[in-house]
């Protein structure tokens, strides 16, 4: 709880500071102030461990600026994820382990610096395409370099330093691209958007999630799942069902933390864009002409903060399937994983597995992260199979019943896999799963086998019916 209290105090302070931060209209002043406060946040929670972040910044910045832009993104990826692994292994090497909040700062810094290297590589590739197109006079339509692309190609060490340590998102995210950061510095949207209103809307629901977290964690504490009484005196059914409240606690804690981190962005005006820009979480505007349109349009514009929207609580809770719920969870990080791992990985066959493995590595070195995150690809085919077999063509009351069953299955899968994420170590995870006879895994194997048999039976019946129809047509 001590770490949680420190976390809440820091986020609360950063949210409050946003009202003052927005008053700086000069971009250079805003950069200096934002970076200064960010460094204070890092120093306050990390102490001398702050040297890790400074070292990572220095090496990554040198790679981004001076390495070949054809491979700078790969070099930066290898260095940052390698250093992240080393950073988390310090205790095994006999050194003091960094504080928990320092680990979160290092995680976000990893996404930022590697993401920036990919942005630079994309801008370089685009510039080469433009240059080649200008030589080819027969080409009708050519892509053009945006102002953001030019800025990426002219990055300085100071630009990267400001981006890395600006107080908005330095502690827990959400991940924002360099383009989003630069827009927040140079575009006037933060002064026009309703930053206070957007922040208050998010803050309204946080007491509910925080209250539920405290209440349920008091009744069903996670620590109880590691006690002797839990395994010796509680029934199999009680132990199996205990994953539900533990994952509920985890969700409420994550909802509270992520929404507070979003409030830091909204109060500072970072991620504010006109609605007509069609912004998406992590990515930012999906239209390139939003600045021109916003300038030319004399009527009042509506603004949103979709760029920094990291979680959709309502849709996460109420959607029917596991696959759909994944889309609404930690959306800015998912954007990073999709853009820089999934779409870039050369083998389509292994893209999903590699992306989830990178996600697990990013989360930490504990086995529980791999049990949980890498378990998802084994559950998703089962869900997809049953959705195709029963849910896809169902209507009316039957559809409603099947949706509810799918919802229950979704949260059981999340909860069953999530207990590994919370127990962390192999011995605790294996002891728990053994105590419930690996019920979840056995159930999923049986369901998958049954689903495959049903699918084969339906195909066989369809072939027989088609053959019977052909025979009947011949007789006629």
SS3 string, 329-349, reads CCHHHHHHHHHHHHCCCCCCC
CB 111 within 8 A of CB 128: no
pLDDT at 80: 96
| Catalytic-labelled residue, pool 363, 403, 438, 461 | 363
Q: Please report the pLDDT score of residue 292 as a whole number.
A: 65
> What confidence score (pLDDT) does residue 412 get?
95
Is a pLDDT exceeding 70 seen at residue 447?
Answer: yes
Q: How confident is the model at residue 466 (pLDDT cuts 50, 70, 90)?
A: confident
Residues in the chain: 476
298 pLDDT higher than 60: no
**pTM of structure:** 0.89
DSSP type of residue 280: B
Token output for 449:
């086998």
φ, ψ (nearest 5 deg) of residue 125: -60, -40
Segment 324-343 shows an average pLDDT of: 92
Q: Quote the CA–CA distance of 265 and 18 in Å, as a whole number.
A: 8
- The more confidently predicted of residues 157 and 126 is 157
- The fraction of the chain above a pLDDT of 90, given in percent, is 64
Give me the pLDDT at residue 173, please: 83
Spatial separation of the C-alpha atoms in residues 265 and 284, rounded to whole Å:
13
Residues 413-428 have a mean pLDDT of 91
* Separation between Cα atoms, residue 182 and residue 192, nearest integer Å: 17
Strands (E), 201-327: 273-274, 303-304
pLDDT score of 51 more than 90: yes
Is the four-CA dihedral 441, 442, 443, 447 of positive or negative sign? positive
**Residue 473 — pLDDT band, cuts 50, 70, 90?**
low
Q: Decide if 282 contacts 306 (C-beta within 8 A).
A: no
From 330, 403, 438, 461, the catalytic residue: 330
Residue 438 a catalytic site member: no
Q: What is the pLDDT of residue 267?
A: 95
Is 330 assigned a catalytic role?
A: yes
Task: Note the pLDDT of residue 137.
Answer: 53
pLDDT tens digits, 225-274: 989 999 999 999 999 999 999 999 999 999 999 999 999 999 999 999 99
Do 55 and 161 form a contact (C-beta atoms < 8 A)?
no
Q: Helix (H, G, I), strand (E, B), or coil: what is residue 169?
A: coil
Q: How far apart are CA 118 and CA 64, in angstroms?
A: 9
Across 92-98, average pLDDT: 80
Residue 368, pLDDT > 90, answer no
CA 273/CA 267 separation, integer angstroms: 14
Q: Is the pLDDT of residue 92 over 90?
A: no
């Amino acid at each position: 709880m001590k770490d949680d209290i420190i976390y809440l105090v820091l986020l609360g302070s950063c949210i409050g500071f946003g009202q003052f931060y927005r008053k700086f209209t000069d971009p250079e002043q805003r950069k200096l102030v934002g970076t200064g406060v960010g460094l204070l946040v890092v120093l306050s929670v990390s102490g001398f461990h702050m040297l890790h972040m400074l070292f990572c910044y220095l090496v990554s910045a040198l790679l981004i600026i001076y390495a070949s832009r054809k491979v700078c993104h790969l070099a930066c990826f290898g260095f940052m994820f390698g250093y992240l692994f080393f950073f988390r292994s310090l205790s095994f090497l006999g050194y003091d382990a960094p504080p928990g909040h320092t680990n979160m700062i290092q995680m976000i810094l990893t996404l930022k610096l590697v993401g920036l290297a990919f942005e630079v590589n994309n801008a370089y590739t685009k510039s080469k395409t433009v240059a080649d197109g200008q030589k080819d006079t027969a080409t009708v339509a050519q892509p053009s370099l945006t102002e953001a692309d030019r800025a990426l190609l002219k990055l300085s060490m100071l630009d990267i330093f400001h981006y890395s340590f600006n107080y908005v998102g330095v502690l827990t995210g959400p991940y924002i691209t360099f383009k989003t950061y630069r827009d927040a510095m140079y575009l006037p949207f933060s002064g026009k958007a309703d930053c206070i209103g957007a922040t208050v809307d998010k803050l309204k629901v946080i007491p509910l999630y925080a209250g539920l977290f405290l209440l349920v964690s008091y009744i069903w504490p996670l620590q109880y799942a590691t006690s002797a009484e839990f395994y010796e005196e509680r029934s199999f059914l009680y132990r199996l069902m205990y994953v539900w409240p533990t994952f509920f606690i985890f969700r409420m804690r994550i909802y509270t933390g992520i929404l507070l981190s979003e409030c830091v962005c909204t109060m500072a005006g970072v991620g504010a864009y006109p609605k007509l820009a069609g912004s998406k979480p992590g990515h930012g505007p999906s239209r390139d002409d939003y600045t021109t349109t916003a300038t030319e349009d004399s009527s009042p514009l509506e603004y949103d903060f979709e760029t920094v929207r990291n979680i959709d609580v309502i849709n996460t809770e109420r959607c029917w399937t596991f696959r759909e719920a994944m889309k609404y969870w930690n959306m800015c990080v998912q954007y990073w994983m999709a853009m820089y791992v999934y779409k870039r990985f050369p083998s389509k066959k292994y893209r999903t597995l590699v992306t989830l493995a990178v996600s697990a590595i990013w989360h930490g070195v504990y086995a529980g992260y791999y049990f949980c995150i890498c378990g998802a690809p084994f559950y998703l085919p089962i869900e997809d199979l049953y959705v195709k077999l029963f849910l896809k063509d169902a209507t009316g009351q039957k559809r409603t019943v099947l949706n509810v069953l799918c919802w229950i299955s979704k949260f059981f899968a999340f909860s069953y896999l999530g207990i590994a994420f919370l127990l962390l170590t192999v011995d605790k995870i294996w002891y728990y799963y053994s105590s419930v006879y690996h019920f979840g895994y056995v159930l999923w194997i049986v369901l998958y086998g049954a689903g495959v048999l049903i699918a084969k039976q339906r195909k066989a019946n369809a072939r027989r019916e088609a053959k019977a129809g052909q025979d009947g047509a011949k007789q006629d």
